[in-house]
Amino acid sequence: MAGEREQWGSGTGFVLATIGSAVGLGNIWRFAYVAGENGGGAFLIVYVLSVLLVGAPIVIAEMALGRQAGGDAATAFERAAPNSRWPLVGWLGIVSSCLILSYYAVIAGWALKYLAGGMLGTLWRTAGTDYGGYYARFIANPGEPVAWQMAMLAVAMLVVTGGVQRGIEVVNRYLMPTLAVFVVGLAVYSATLPGAGAGWRFLFLPDWSALTDPHVIIAALGQSFFSLGVGMAVYITYASYMSPQTRIPVNAGAIILGDTLFAILAGLAIFPAVFAFGMNPEAGPKLAFITLPQIFLAMPAGKVIGALFFLLLSAAALTSMVALLEVPVAAIVHRTPLKRWGAVLIVGLTVFVVGIPLAMSYGVLSDIKVGGRALLDALDQAVSNYLLALAGLLVALFVGWRWGRHNALAAADLDRAAVGAAWLWLLRVVAPLVIGLILLNALVGV
C-alpha cells in the first residue's frame, strides 16, 4: 500500500502545477468555440460571474478537502465523513477525469499534429491558405488522429510515471510562464489586423437577449467548470500533496485569476482574426485549428511563431492531461499493491482505447451523431455541462452543509478571515441554487 507520501517541492511548484492543470485546451480551443457558439459578449458575462460565484468557492472547497486527507479523491470524503456514501462523490470525480482524458487526448493530439506540421513546414506548404481543407484532410484520415492521440497520451504517461516532484512539477515550472507571454503577444498582434474591432465587439458587447437563453447559461457554467477543472477531483488530488504551510485562499485566487485572464486573452487572439478573415465564429470545435494558422501565415515570421505556438499549446494540453491522469493513478496507488507505473499503464491504455472512436468521430465515424453533434463533441458537452456540474454541486453541499462550519473554515485557512462567511454562503446557497436550477432545467428538457 502507499508508503511515504510524496509532496510538492515548494509552494510555487504547487501553484504552477495547478495553474498548469487549469490552463489548457479549455482556455484556447474550448473557450473560443463555446463563446463563438453562444453569442460572445453575453456568454462572457455569465462565464465570469459563474467563475466568481460558483467555480471559485468550489475550487477552495476541493483544495480544503484534499489537503486535510492527504489521500486520493475518495479518501478525502472517507476521512471527512466516515461510514457515509459521500466517497461516491470522489469516485464520480475519478470517473469524470478518465472520461475527459479520453477525448482531451484526442484534441491534444491535433495540437501535436499542427506542431509537427508547423515545424516541418507541411502545415504552411500544403495548406496554402486553405486551413479548412488542411484540417478536413487530417481529420478524415482513419489512422492519423489516433496516432497523435496515442503520442500525446504516451508523453503524459511518462511524466506521471516520473512522480509528483520529478515529473509533474518540473514540466510545469517553465512551460506556463512562457505560454502566458505568447498569448499576450498574439492578442496584441490580432488587435492590429484590419477589421479586428468586430472581434472585440463580439467578445465584449453583449447581446442582452441571449441572457434569457438557458443554453447560453448552461454553456457558460459548463465552460467555467471545465476551464477551472472543477468537479474532476484534480484539486482534491493535487492539494493532497500540499504542505500545511501553503495558504489555500491566496493560491486559489492566483489560479482562478490566471485561468480566467488566459481565456479572455486567448479570445482576444482568436476572435479579431476570425472576423478579419471573414470566418464564422460558430464553427464549433475546429475553430481554433482553422483560424490560428491563418493569423500566423499573415504575420511576419509567422511560421516560426506558429510552430512555437503549437509547441506551447501542446505543452499546455500536456500539463492538463497530466493532472487528469494523476487523479485515477493516485486512487489506484493508494488502494492496491500496484506501483505508480502499473497504475499509469492501466489507466493510460484504457483511456486510449475509449478514445479511439472519439478520435475518428469527425472522420470515418462522422455519420454517428448524438443530439446532432459528433461523438467527441457530444461527450464533451455531456460531461462538462452535466457531470461536472453535478460533482460540483455535491462538493458544495458537502463542504457547505455536511462537513461542519468549523472544519470547513479551518481546512480552507479561512477561519480568521472575514471572507470565510461569504465563502460558506456561496457554497451553501448560491452554488447549489444555480447548479440545481440548471440541472433541473436539463431534466425537464430545455
Minimum Å gap between C-beta 184 and ligand PFF is 18
Torsional sign, CA 231, 166, 314, 376:
negative
Taking the C-alpha atoms of residue 257 and residue 231, their distance in angstroms, rounded to an integer, is 18
Is 24 among the residues that bind ligand PFF (CB under 6 A)? yes
Categorise residue 24: left if φ over 0, alpha if ψ from -120 to 50, beta otherwise.
Answer: beta
Residue 103 neighbours by CB under 8 Å, 6+ apart: 355, 358, 376, 379, 380
| Residue 247 near residue 415, CB atoms below 8 Å | no
Q: Find the part of the chain contacting ligand PFF (CB under 6 A) among 25-33, 160-168, 269-277, 401-409.
A: 25-33
Task: Please identify, using beta-carbon distances, which residue of 391 and 409 lies nearer to ligand PFF.
Answer: 391
The DSSP 8-state label assigned to residue 6 in this structure reads P
The DSSP 8-state label assigned to residue 412 in this structure reads T
| Residue 73 near residue 238, CB atoms below 8 Å | no
Taking the C-alpha atoms of residue 210 and residue 40, their distance in angstroms, rounded to an integer, is 10
| Residue 331 near residue 344, CB atoms below 8 Å | no
Minimum Å gap between C-beta 325 and ligand PFF is 9
Task: Please identify, using beta-carbon distances, which residue of 8 and 124 lies nearer to ligand PFF.
Answer: 8
Task: Please identify, using beta-carbon distances, which residue of 222 and 432 lies nearer to ligand PFF.
Answer: 222
Is 229 among the residues that bind ligand PFF (CB under 6 A)? yes
Is 227 among the residues that bind ligand PFF (CB under 6 A)? yes
Taking the C-alpha atoms of residue 30 and residue 380, their distance in angstroms, rounded to an integer, is 10
Minimum Å gap between C-beta 20 and ligand PFF is 9
The residues in 231-270 that bind ligand PFF, with binding defined as CB under 6 A, are 232, 234
Minimum Å gap between C-beta 219 and ligand PFF is 15
Q: Find the part of the chain contacting ligand PFF (CB under 6 A) among 17-25, 363-371, 407-415, 437-445.
A: 17-25
Q: Find the part of the chain contacting ligand PFF (CB under 6 A) among 38-46, 52-60, 226-234, 350-358.
A: 226-234
- Written as nine digits, the cell of 67 is 489537503
> In this structure, how many other beta carbons lie within 10 angstroms of the beta carbon of residue 84?
12
Minimum Å gap between C-beta 99 and ligand PFF is 11
Taking the C-alpha atoms of residue 438 and residue 213, their distance in angstroms, rounded to an integer, is 12
Minimum Å gap between C-beta 233 and ligand PFF is 8
The residues in 96-135 that bind ligand PFF, with binding defined as CB under 6 A, are 97, 100
The CA-atom distances, in angstroms, between 117 and each of 51, 178, 226, 303, 310 are: 35, 21, 28, 10, 10
- Written as nine digits, the cell of 374 is 459528433
Is 63 among the residues that bind ligand PFF (CB under 6 A)? no
Is 50 among the residues that bind ligand PFF (CB under 6 A)? no
Is 27 among the residues that bind ligand PFF (CB under 6 A)? yes
Is 320 among the residues that bind ligand PFF (CB under 6 A)? yes
Task: Please identify, using beta-carbon distances, which residue of 38 and 424 lies nearer to ligand PFF.
Answer: 38
Task: Please identify, using beta-carbon distances, which residue of 110 and 226 lies nearer to ligand PFF.
Answer: 226
Binding site for ligand PFF (CB under 6 A): 21-22, 24-27, 97, 100, 226-227, 229, 232, 234, 320, 323-324
